[in-house]
Structure 1
Amino acid sequence: MTSISLPIFGQGSQPAEEDGVELEYLAMPEEMITYRMPQISSDLHTADLAQAKTTFLQLEQNLADYPANSPAIDLITLDQTNRRFVDELLGEGEVSMICGSVQKLRIQESVLAGVWRLQQLNGKQIVSDALDVGIIPHQVAQLAFADASSRIDTDMSALPDGVMNAPPLLAELNAKITKYQPGDEAHIINLSLLPQTEQDLTFLQQRLGMGVVTILSRGYGNCRITATSTRNVWWVQYFNSQDTLILNTLEVSDVPSVACASPEDITDSYQRLQEILKVYL
């Protein structure tokens, strides 16, 4: 029998270069968060969960009524047992946010996409706790740019050494934010594709300023989103699972879409909640 030699492909299959240089591969994200049915502690019994049942039946109705604006569901009055059940059933989804500087609003997406947990903090004390349904809580955009500047300082009379390509980007951003209206398509500047020096990036940060909203989206890798102190301008950075920056962008929008749920997500969450309620309540 004649043997047939098949070609071998992949890393390590080819001979090394004569100069000893090896091709290096950028590490890709290793895992992606997927939905799993919540696991509830065995010591939580249905007979003790009347408050939680009322809460989740209202949440089911709010999901069914979307996109109608339903009132947020107050959780602050739940007793310890019912609060623990709510915590375990909702879990933590992909997106978390911190809004504000003095009194902070902490927002956490649940495992049900489009269902958001909003907690107002006074120091470490939780003073309000609520559930909201939507693409993104409306408080995010309101708080992000409540005190934001409507225009970027474009005085270039004394540029720091090393600043080369930042000034045209500031002019481009000024033109976009002047015309931008809520709901308009996002305008994205990909800094990763532009020749930017370290001084350029520092100059951009200084002129745009730092806002009061920070968002982390943990899907396939991490996306860190920071509001600037310039109206509707966000700094959006994508990292792989090795925490290496792989995409660096500026975005003019209400809220970057990577942080938002979709109408399809909310429909799916409605169906999942029905399945969960059949099991636990």
Structure 2
Amino acid sequence: MTTTTTHIAMSTAPKTQPALDIADCPPAIDVLEQLRVGLARSIAGRRAQPLSIASLSADAHALVIEALGDGEIRAELDATEAHPRALLTETSLTGVWRWRLFDPAGGLLADVLEPGDCPTPMYERPFQAARNRIDWPRDSSEDSMDAVAVLAELDTYLDLQPDSDAGIQANTRRLDINGAKDLSHSVNLSMLPQNPAAMALIERCLGQGPARMINLGYGRCQIEATSVRPIWRLRHFNSSGRLLLDSIEISPIPSVVLATTQDLTDSHERLGQLLAAIGDHGPSNFPKGQPRTALGCD
């Protein structure tokens, strides 16, 4: 685990102006309606199925992405032997996520929208190859004793976590975080007198995992999976880049990136309002001389 700032590279493709209005594009509207149904399932505590948008026409795809907008959370999952590289983003509707998979050459393998507290890859992949325990020294030098105390505390709370050989699976995911038993635990490193040797020992024992996330909602929260299941490192920075809080969290997914039931309810309502506005608008902006079938919006 490193202490350098994480840079998550997202799509570099330029945004283009859609060729028509979304009211003229039934496939785009259908995607939004399916997302609203998925949000309702998530609010009820049931898993919503991911929705592929890879086969949409270029116009319909652009209209859907434009309607959903950009949110505050970004994530990247490294490629492994079992999985390709993944980029995940939250849309402007909290709890509606977009995730894409890429082959080694950068080619797009999947383009998916998913309603819920957190997208499936973020639940399933960060700790698939992780260790279940911390390999920490029981005897150490005086300058690293503070680190040993932190590692021992984390090790104790790992005993409370549910056993899993493949991380948190989709069929056991915690959709309603307000009503679920809270097994998370956090250690505030900023409040502890850690010297460089102690911090180096903590980072060496926890290691670095394949997942990184950034939440830009309040300043900048940089989140990294460790190589121990399910331990995360979180750093909160202010607008000028000053570190405000450095902490370690034991949790399947850090709470700062999970959409709550209220978030999902608000997004369900906003999406309903958007669909109502689209319905009131009605078909009006077909490019002249070009049929709907040519646009993939039939």
Q: TM-score, normalised by structure 2?
A: 0.76
Q: Which moved more, 1:66-75 or 1:246-255?
A: 66-75
Structure of greater relative contact order (alpha carbons < 8 Å, 6+ residues apart): 2
1:211 deviates by 0.4
**Which residue number corresponds to residue 21 of structure 2?**
45
Q: Deviations over 1:56-102 (max 9, x none)?
A: 11112112232322211110101111111111111111111112334
Identity of aligned residues (%): 31
| In the alignment, structure 1 residue 100 sits paired with structure 2 residue 78 | yes
Secondary structure in 1 matching 2:100:
strand
Residues 75, 130 of structure 1: 8 Å contact kept: yes
Residue identity in the other structure for 2:234:
V
Where 1:188 maps in the other structure, the secondary structure is: strand
**Aligned counterpart, 1:131:** 113
* Structure 1 position 80 matched with structure 2 position 61: no
Give the partner amino acid of 1:155.
P
Report the aligned-residue RMSD. 2.0
Look up the SS of the partner of 1:224 in the other structure.
strand
Query: Which ranges in structure 1 are unaligned for 5 or more consecutive residues?
Result: 1-39
Secondary structure at the aligned position of 1:60 is classed as helix
The aligned residue for residue 54 of structure 1 is 30
8 Å Cα contact 1:48/1:81 also seen in 2: no
Mapping for residues 93-242 of structure 1, pairs under 5 Å: 93-102=71-80, 103-123=84-104, 124-156=106-138, 162-181=143-162, 184-242=182-240
Distance 1:218 1:257, change over 3 A: same
Distance in 2 of aligned mates of 1:279 and 1:42? 18
Separation in 1 of the partners of 2:120 and 2:41?
17
1:15 aligns with: none
2:251 is aligned with 1:270: no
After superposing the two structures, state which structure 1 stretch, 103-112 or 163-172, moved more. Answer: 163-172
Q: Please identify, of 143-152 and 121-130, the stretch whose mean Cα deviation from structure 2 is larger.
A: 121-130
- Give CA-to-partner distance per residue, 1:25-78, whole Å, 9 cap, x none: xxxxxxxxxxxxxxx957423465221111111112112232322211110101
Q: Which moved more, 1:175-184 or 1:61-70?
A: 175-184
**Cα deviations across residues 250-275 of structure 1 (Å, max 9, x unaligned)?**
11111110011101011100111111
| Structure 1 contact 114–269 (Cα < 8 Å) conserved | yes
Q: Is the 8 A contact 2:123 2:252 kept in 1?
A: yes
SS in 2 for 1:144: coil
1:153 Cα deviation from its structure 2 partner: 1.1
TM-score (norm 1): 0.80
For residues 218-244 of structure 1, the C-alpha deviation after alignment (integer angstroms, 9 at most, x for no partner) is 111111110000011110111111111
Secondary structure (helix, strand or coil) at the match of 1:219 reads coil
In the superposition, relative to structure 1, how do residues 51 and 42 fare at CA in structure 2: closer, same or farther (>3 Å)?
Answer: closer
> Does structure 2 conserve the Cα–Cα contact (< 8 Å) formed by 1:164 and 1:197?
no
Amino acid at match of 1:205: E
- Three-state SS of the structure 2 residue aligned to 1:237 is strand
Query: What is the letter of the counterpart of residue 95 of structure 1?
Result: I
Q: Contact 1:60/1:270 (CA < 8 Å) preserved in 2? A: yes
Q: Deviations over 1:173-209 (max 9, x none)?
A: 1111122237543111000100001221121111101
Structure 2: tracts of 5 or more residues without a match: 1-15, 163-167, 169-180, 280-298
Distance 1:76 1:42 in 2: 16
Q: Is the 8 A contact 2:19 2:59 kept in 1?
A: no
Q: How many residues align?
A: 241
- Do 1:100 and 1:143's aligned partners in 2 also have CA atoms closer than 8 Å? no
CA shift digits 1:149-191 (9 cap, x unpaired): 11111235565x8434101111111111122237543111000
Q: Work out which of the two has the higher radius of gyration on C-alpha atoms and give 1 or 2.
A: 1
